């Protein structure tokens, strides 16, 4: 089962809402947990036991860690993380690791491929985060099994996140807040908006993206650029759209989940982009990888000595390098066991390190010339540069191999471009193009409003009933009519669900 | 008051769904702008045929309408045939079609192209698809949702001859070395597809039709493992099975000339050869020759249009 299926939208979700409303507040958490495990079972069938076992294991491990102190505590945390990471590595990375070892040893090892449980990368990070919080005593080990299980398996977020922190969402998951008229209205509206982005925009663009990435040598110039930009647009529309669906569902149930996007294409630098794109993964990496590494004895001592010997700037570069390298390697590796994902992580590591290295020079330039980096021409140039960095990064991310990615990036600067051939091969006609452009314009308008601090839901609430109904009906029928589903369209799986 | 507002909203939504469904039905009829409209029109055209005049109905996915040349069947043996196959069809969709045939035609033979049987679908997904199809039948707007394309695309008529699609391009398949490599392995046919296939056989038998399974030549879609599975499955169903991939000597398919897209589908050339092979199979089913029968004048007329078109194609190919 997936979120964009008619069964989920018209039967499963309404049934959960009705059952949730009919149940007493204290028991609503059981309804949500039952629904989450049922959803998982419908999607993964027999593999559901992996999720249930993880819930039981994490619940027990947290209590086990909480009871110990000193080295025992560290040992127990290490064991728990090793088990969680081991399960993830076994199902997701074992084949790739075996291939790598085999290549070095000159011998071929075979590892039995296992079914990758849905959302394992997401709930494993959440589980590790929870155990670390218990270990650091930021959070007491929860004695309520349902709360822990629901935190790990809440059905709207199991496929693509957001990756929540225990203290941020667990309490509201179990609070059993009633569904109110306003929560239902706002939540449904956000879900509809998310579905529209995914089904009208992203799924149409996928036709074009599939063609260009399956024949990377064939298209050059504008066609290559169009295909690369189309993938960036597809990824944003699909990922942010499905996150809107998740957030909308949570909003109906009055559950608090962290936001995953904050208008990423308004960024003026790569580091700002990562503060606005997949925010919860960035927060997780910052909290559980960056901070522990940058506050470790090795890095702190190294920083002190480097500052004495080579000065402040060199020490900053050195410390940033030591702390950022595991973050970006982890980021790349988390997406999958392929070299291009690791290269994608390293690509951003290099760019962010360049930002750190060039920072004093940039400051000097702006102070001497009097130009502002945040206004006028320089602001536009920085924005364009960031867009180019993002597009090149996503080409590396999407291409099958690193070599293919470089070929595609190189093809942008070669001719001749056959845009018409690309459009013909993707079976996108003029009307499809019209819907995609309409969708992109609407998304841009909404993002601009958000960036300017205009609260569209509050504005919507202030409108008379007739206007609200008209807008809601328009969105529903835009989704039904413009959605790329049914005859003639391929079902497009959620991109981030496979990670 | 609050509840009455919500009830009003849902009632309004239902009314609009009905309104849009009617609108989509009206616009889709006679238009071939949207994918759904094209799909819809094949069924509409089938239903508009003179009752009980079709001898052979072909079900399946795109392999079906690129492999059975209905006009050649008419020309060679006077057999009236109609291909109801649809692009990327699910077995469940064809089961629904098979059940609808009875109301309009009593074909003596129903040919089922087998590629769709291997489409991956779990019982849960299958049930969900069924649910989607039921909703789509209740509110046709879900099936004809791209009816608005008629506003943009005026002239994209796909020419079909009783469901057969004439594909003229030849894009060779140069890598056929592993195709139909002998093996004793059998590829599993998903349980849901088996269930739906049993429904097709039941519906056809109830309508007095004989079911024959066949596999169209395709290097991209067939293997010996699939052949083994289909042979066993046909025996289980109690129907005949003809695999044209193992009878290439008979069909004489040339993968440099006879495929439209590198071995996935056949072009017009390949369809001619496959149809000739199927003609021999159908000859054993005791089908009458309708050529010269006044009731079948429409077929003769359609064939004349078809003949003009393929003559042009033949001339072009001969020229090349």
- Tens digits of per-residue pLDDT, B95-152? 988 998 888 899 999 999 999 999 888 888 788 878 887 888 788 888 778 778 777 7
Are A220 and A256 part of one and the same domain? yes
Domain that holds residue A209: 179-268+401-490
Residue-level pLDDT at A330: 93
Q: What is the secondary structure of A317-384 as a DSSP string?
A: HHHHHHHHHHHHHHHHHHH-SSHHHHHHHHHHHHHHHHHHHHHHHHHHHHHHH---TTSHHHHHHHHH
**Ranges of H-type helices in chain B:** 2-28, 35-47, 62-65, 70-77, 91-101, 123-138, 191-206, 224-237, 248-251, 268-283, 297-319
**Which residues have C-beta within 8 Å of that of residue A20, sequence separation ≥ 6?**
A28, A31, A32, A179, A253
Is position B292 within any domain? yes
Instruction: Give B142's contacts in chain A (Cβ within 8 Å).
Output: 6, 480, 486
pLDDT exceeds 50 at position A25: yes
Is position B14 within any domain? no
pLDDT exceeds 90 at position B38: no
Domain termination residue (choose one: A161, A178, A195): A178
Are A16 and A160 part of one and the same domain? yes
Residue-level pLDDT at B1: 46
CB A267 within 8 A of CB A386: yes
Residue-level pLDDT at B204: 95
Distance, in Å, from the CA atom of A116 to the CA atom of A158, rounded to the nearest integer, reads 13
Using the Cβ of A171 and the Cβ atoms of chain B, whether some distance falls under 8 Å is answered with no
Strand partners, B214: B113, B242
Using the Cβ of A45 and the Cβ atoms of chain B, whether some distance falls under 8 Å is answered with yes
Using the Cβ of B317 and the Cβ atoms of chain A, whether some distance falls under 8 Å is answered with no
- In this complex, the residue of A181, A469, A481 whose CB is nearest that of residue B145 is A481
Number of compact structural domains in chain B = 1
**Which residues have C-beta within 8 Å of that of residue A39, sequence separation ≥ 6?**
A1, A12, A155, A158
Q: What is the secondary structure of A36-84 as a DSSP string?
A: HHHHHHHHHGGGHHHHHHHHHHHHHHHHHHHH--HHHHHHHHHHHHHHH
Domain termination residue (choose one: A155, A178, A201): A178
ipTM of the modeled complex: 0.75
Interface of A with B in 424-443 (CB under 8 A): 429-431, 434
Residue-level pLDDT at B317: 61
pLDDT band, very low/low/confident/very high, at B248 (cuts 50, 70, 90): low
Using the Cβ of A483 and the Cβ atoms of chain B, whether some distance falls under 8 Å is answered with yes
pLDDT exceeds 60 at position B31: no
Q: Express as a percent the part of chain A with pLDDT over 90.
A: 60
Helix (H, G, I), strand (E, B), or coil: what is residue B240?
strand
Least confident of A241-245, A345-349, A475-479: A475-479
Is position A163 within any domain? yes
Nearest CA in chain A to B151: A431
Is position B314 within any domain? yes
With CB atoms and an 8 Å threshold, state whether B13 touches A487.
Answer: no
With CB atoms and an 8 Å threshold, state whether B128 touches A7.
Answer: yes
Are A258 and A125 part of one and the same domain? no
Helix (H, G, I), strand (E, B), or coil: what is residue B210?
strand
DSSP state of B127: H
- In this complex, the residue of B16, B124, B156 whose CB is nearest that of residue A473 is B16
Is position A288 within any domain? no
Are A160 and A183 part of one and the same domain? no
Is position A233 within any domain? yes
Nearest CA in chain A to B143: A486
With CB atoms and an 8 Å threshold, state whether A473 touches B13.
Answer: yes
With CB atoms and an 8 Å threshold, state whether B152 touches A430.
Answer: yes
With CB atoms and an 8 Å threshold, state whether A6 touches B16.
Answer: no
Q: What global pTM score does this model have?
A: 0.81
Domain that holds residue B112: 53-120+158-319
Are A111 and A183 part of one and the same domain? no
Using the Cβ of A365 and the Cβ atoms of chain B, whether some distance falls under 8 Å is answered with no
With CB atoms and an 8 Å threshold, state whether A181 touches B2.
Answer: yes
A/B interface, count of CB pairs below 8 Å: 82
Least confident of A13-17, A351-355, A416-420, B257-261: A416-420
With CB atoms and an 8 Å threshold, state whether A431 touches B12.
Answer: no
Are A122 and A216 part of one and the same domain? no
SS3 content of chain B, % helix, strand, coil (to 5): 50, 10, 40
β-pairing verdict for B160-161 and B164-165: antiparallel
With CB atoms and an 8 Å threshold, state whether B132 touches A5.
Answer: yes
Is position A327 within any domain? no
Distance, in Å, from the CA atom of B193 to the CA atom of B91, rounded to the nearest integer, reads 6
Number of compact structural domains in chain A = 2
Are A163 and A22 part of one and the same domain? yes
Distance, in Å, from the CA atom of A295 to the CA atom of A238, rounded to the nearest integer, reads 36
Instruction: Give B153's contacts in chain A (Cβ within 8 Å).
Output: 429-431
pLDDT exceeds 80 at position A420: no
Over residues A143-163, mean pLDDT: 94
pLDDT tens digit sequence for A359-411: 889 889 888 888 888 888 888 999 999 999 999 999 999 998 999 999 999 98
pLDDT tens digit sequence for A312-364: 888 889 889 999 999 999 999 999 888 999 999 999 999 999 999 998 898 89
Residue count (chain B): 320
Are A147 and A212 part of one and the same domain? no
CATH, residue B162: 3.40.50.1110
Domain termination residue (choose one: A126, A161, A178): A178
pLDDT exceeds 90 at position A216: no
Among the listed residues A113, A499, A162, the one whose alpha carbon sits nearest the alpha carbon of residue A334: A499
């Amino acid at each position: 089962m997936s979120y964009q299926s008619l069964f989920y939208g018209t039967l499963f979700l309404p049934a959960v809402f009705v059952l949730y409303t009919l149940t007493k507040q204290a028991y609503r958490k059981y309804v949500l947990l039952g629904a989450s495990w049922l959803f998982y079972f419908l999607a993964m069938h027999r593999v559901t036991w992996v999720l249930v076992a993880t819930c039981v294991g994490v619940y027990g491990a947290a209590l086990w860690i909480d009871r110990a102190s000193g080295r025992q505590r560290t040992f127990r945390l290490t064991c728990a993380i090793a088990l969680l990471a081991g399960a993830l590595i076994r199902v997701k990375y074992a084949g790739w690791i075996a291939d790598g070892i085999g290549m070095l040893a000159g011998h071929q090892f075979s590892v039995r491929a296992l079914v990758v449980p849905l959302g394992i990368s997401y709930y494993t990070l959440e589980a590790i985060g929870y155990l670390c919080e218990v270990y650091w005593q930021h959070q007491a080990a929860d004695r309520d099994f349902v709360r822990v299980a629901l935190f790990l398996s809440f059905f709207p977020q199991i496929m693509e996140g957001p990756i929540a922190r225990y203290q941020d969402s667990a309490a509201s998951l179990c609070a059993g807040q009633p569904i109110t008229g306003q929560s239902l209205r706002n939540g449904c509206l956000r879900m509809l908006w998310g579905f529209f982005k995914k089904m009208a925009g992203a799924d149409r663009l996928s036709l074009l993206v599939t063609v260009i990435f399956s024949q990377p040598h064939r298209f050059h110039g504008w066609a290559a650029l169009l295909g690369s930009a189309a993938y960036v647009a597809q990824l944003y529309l699909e990922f942010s759209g499905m996150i809107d669906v998740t957030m909308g569902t949570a909003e109906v149930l009055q559950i608090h989940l962290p936001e995953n996007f904050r208008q990423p294409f308004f960024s003026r630098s790569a580091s700002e982009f990562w503060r606005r794109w997949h925010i919860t993964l960035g927060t997780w990496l910052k909290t559980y990888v960056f901070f522990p590494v940058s506050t470790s004895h090795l890095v702190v001592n190294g920083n002190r000595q480097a500052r004495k010997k080579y000065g402040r700037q060199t020490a900053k570069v050195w410390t940033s390098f030591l702390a950022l390298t595991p973050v970006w390697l982890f980021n790349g590796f988390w997406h999958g066991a392929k070299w291009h994902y690791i290269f994608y992580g390293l690509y951003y590591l290099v760019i962010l390190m360049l930002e750190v290295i060039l920072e004093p020079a940039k400051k000097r330039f702006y102070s001497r010339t009097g130009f502002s980096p945040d206004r006028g021409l320089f602001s536009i140039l920085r924005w364009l540069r960031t867009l180019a960095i993002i597009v090149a990064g996503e080409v590396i991310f999407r291409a099958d191999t690193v070599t293919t990615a470089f070929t595609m990036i190189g093809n942008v600067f070669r001719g001749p471009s056959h845009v018409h051939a690309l459009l013909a091969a993707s079976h996108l006609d003029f009307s499809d193009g019209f819907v995609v452009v309409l969708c992109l314009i609407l998304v841009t308008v909404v993002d601009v409003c958000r960036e300017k601090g205009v609260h569209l839901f509050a504005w919507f609430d202030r409108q008379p009933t007739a206007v609200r109904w008209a807008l809601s009906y328009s969105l529903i029928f835009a989704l039904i009519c413009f959605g790329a589903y049914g005859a003639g369209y391929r079902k497009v799986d959620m991109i981030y669900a496979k990670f | 008051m609050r509840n009455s507002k919500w009830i009003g909203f849902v009632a309004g939504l239902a009314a609009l769904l009905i309104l849009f469904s009617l609108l989509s039905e009206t616009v889709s009829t006679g238009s071939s702008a949207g994918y759904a409209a094209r799909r819809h029109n094949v069924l509409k055209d089938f239903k508009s045929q003179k009752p009980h005049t079709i001898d052979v109905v072909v079900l399946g996915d795109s392999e079906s309408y690129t492999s059975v040349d209905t006009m050649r069947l008419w020309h060679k043996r006077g057999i009236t045939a109609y291909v109801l196959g649809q692009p990327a069809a699910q077995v469940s969709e064809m089961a629904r079609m098979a059940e609808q045939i009875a109301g309009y035609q009593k074909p003596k033979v129903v040919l089922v192209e087998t590629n769709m049987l291997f489409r991956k679908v779990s019982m849960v997904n299958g049930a969900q698809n069924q649910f989607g199809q039921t909703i789509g039948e209740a509110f046709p707007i879900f099936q004809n949702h791209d009816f608005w394309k008629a506003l943009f695309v005026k002239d994209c008529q796909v020419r079909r001859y009783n469901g057969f699609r004439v594909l003229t391009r030849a894009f060779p398949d140069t890598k056929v070395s592993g195709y139909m490599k002998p093996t004793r392995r059998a590829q599993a046919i998903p349980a849901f597809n088996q269930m739906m296939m049993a429904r097709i056989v039941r519906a056809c038998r109830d309508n007095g039709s004989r079911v024959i399974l066949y596999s169209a030549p395709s290097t991209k879609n067939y293997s010996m493992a699939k052949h083994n599975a289909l042979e066993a499955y046909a025996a289980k169903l109690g129907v005949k099975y003809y695999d044209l991939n193992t009878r290439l000597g008979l069909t004489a398919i040339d993968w440099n000339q006879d495929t439209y897209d590198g071995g996935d589908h056949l072009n017009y050339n390949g369809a001619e050869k496959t149809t000739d092979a199927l003609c021999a199979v159908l000859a054993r089913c005791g089908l009458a020759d309708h050529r010269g029968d006044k009731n079948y004048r429409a077929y003769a007329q359609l064939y004349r249009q078809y003949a003009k078109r393929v003559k042009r194609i033949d001339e072009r190919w001969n020229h090349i």
